[in-house]
Amino acid sequence: MYADYEVIPCDKIVLKVLPNGNTFKSWKKNIEYLWNADPLVNDGTVFDGNILMLKEIDQVSLKEINIVCNFTGYKNFYISRKYKNIPCDIQPIGVSGIVLFKDANAKLYTLIGKRSVSVSNYPGYYELLPSGNVDDTYLNDDAGSIDYEKNLITEFQEESGLYPSIIKKISPIGLIHDRKENYYD
């Protein structure tokens, strides 16, 4: 295991969403000013949207993890990463998958892709496909939870161009904490 990563193996992950609140109220004016002045924002490379952020991890058993989280604007995350004097401790939660498939000769393959140079974490690096942020599109308001499997399927289709109907099984293998970037997948 690498010191930059922590892996919490589990078979079931539940994402419970809390109401947002005013987490960054005291920094709102500064964040708005810096966001509006940012060249990548102004040229359309970077845009705002909701991202899921970690509040608490509750390991129910060796096989199950409940993650308490809420949404924040991407601009809060982007500005707090770019300007270290804005102390917004945002730990985003994303989804990543490992796609395994066999060719006609039963040789095993996986999908990888190259990250855009304009992303905030690991620009230009290679990653497993599918991978992406979790936004409020997959929020089940009635249950107060996120359907991360649907999010993963959408990322799969967007990134591979393949139809989701070819997916035979989705099985959680765990929660990974990237300590270097303070990001969860």
pLDDT (0 to 100) of residue 21:
63
Integer CA distances (angstroms), 112 to 21, 25, 43, 103, 118, in order: 37, 39, 28, 16, 18
Least Cα distance to 68 among 19, 25, 12 occurs for 19
- How deeply is 16 buried, as exposed, middle or buried, from its count of CB atoms within 10 A (0-12, 13-18, 19+)? middle
Beta strand 64-73 with 12-17 is parallel
Q: Cα separation of 76 and 50, whole Å? A: 10
DSSP symbols for 12-25:
EEEEEEPP---TTG
Q: How many helices (H) and strands (E) does the chain have?
A: 4, 14
Q: Which residue positions in the chain have pLDDT lower than 70? A: 1-2, 21-23
The angle subtended at Cα 153 by Cα 51 and Cα 148, nearest 5°, is: 45
pLDDT (0 to 100) of residue 32:
92
Q: Cα separation of 34 and 8, whole Å? A: 36
Q: Cα separation of 100 and 167, whole Å? A: 10
pLDDT (0 to 100) of residue 154:
93
Per-residue pLDDT tens digits for 129-170: 999 888 888 888 777 888 989 999 999 999 999 999 988 889
Q: Which amino acid is at 129?
A: L
pLDDT (0 to 100) of residue 56:
92
Least Cα distance to 27 among 75, 92, 69, 70 occurs for 75
pLDDT (0 to 100) of residue 66:
92
pLDDT (0 to 100) of residue 23:
67
pLDDT (0 to 100) of residue 27:
83
Length of the chain: 185
